[in-house]
Homo-oligomer: A and B are copies of this chain.
Amino acid sequence: MIDRYSPEKIYMQIANAIEADLKDGFEAGDVYLSEKTLTEKFGVNRHTVRRAVEELVKQNILEKRHGFGTFVAEKRLAYSIKSHHRLSQAIAEKGSEVETHLLEKKRIPALGSVAEKLQLKNGDEVLQLDTLRKINGKPIALISHFFPIAIVTDAFDRYESGSLGSFLAKHCDIQAKRISSQVSASMPNAQDSFRLGMSSTQPLMKVKTLNVNLKTNQLVEYSVTRFRGDMMQLELLMK
């Protein structure tokens, strides 16, 4: 079953063998063999089967759940246009319920792009708020907000959920205005994919935005939003 003298890596041989095995008696959603079973079946180390399974998870063929097992991934036909939420639409749609939850709040030294964007010195303190955005109960986006400490007031301590924009307007007299956005696609890290309840093989759409105070024109917020790539589509309408 395994050719230890083949130039093809053992984990790839196993990945291929598993893939063939799946087509022969397994259906989407079925629980697949445990790592222990696979270890015995192929006569290799557990790490090696883990590496093989990892390969198939990356390809969306298997899924894993800690403490439960490995199972055959559901087919994702979900890419039809209709299943995409449009940011502008989804929020405006009647019946779409948008929630925002505060996940974390901490003071950190501004590093790299955060310092650069907010025009601070490397190491200047900023307040970081991480929030989770849900639409109709489903996690859609994670947002890390960065505020220069200079604009942070005690009012921030009271924020717990709901629109951060409205909160700033009401309690801090800050009307934020977006002056630029940068959009890119990348893969999620473990924490982000967990928090968004998505497969780590699905991409994120990252939107980095810089906001100024509409009145004073001062830089007040830099934020990094990670949208679930499979659920969100940005819509840009030209004038």
Identify the A interface with B (CB < 8 A): 12, 15, 20, 22-24, 55, 58-60, 76, 78-79, 81-84, 86, 111-113, 122, 177-187, 189-191, 200-205, 227, 229-230, 232-239
Contacts and interface: CB of A to CB of B under 8 A. Distances in A.
A186 B201 contact: no
B184 A229 contact: yes
A181 B23 CA distance: 21
Given A81-B236, A185-B227, 8 more contacts: A23-B113, A24-B122, A58-B201, A59-B200, A81-B112, A182-B234, A185-B203, A203-B204
Contacts of A183: 183, 205, 233-236
A177 B239 CA distance: 11
A86 to B, nearest CB: 7
A134 B84 CA distance: 29
Contact of A186 (B15, B60, B182, B227): B60
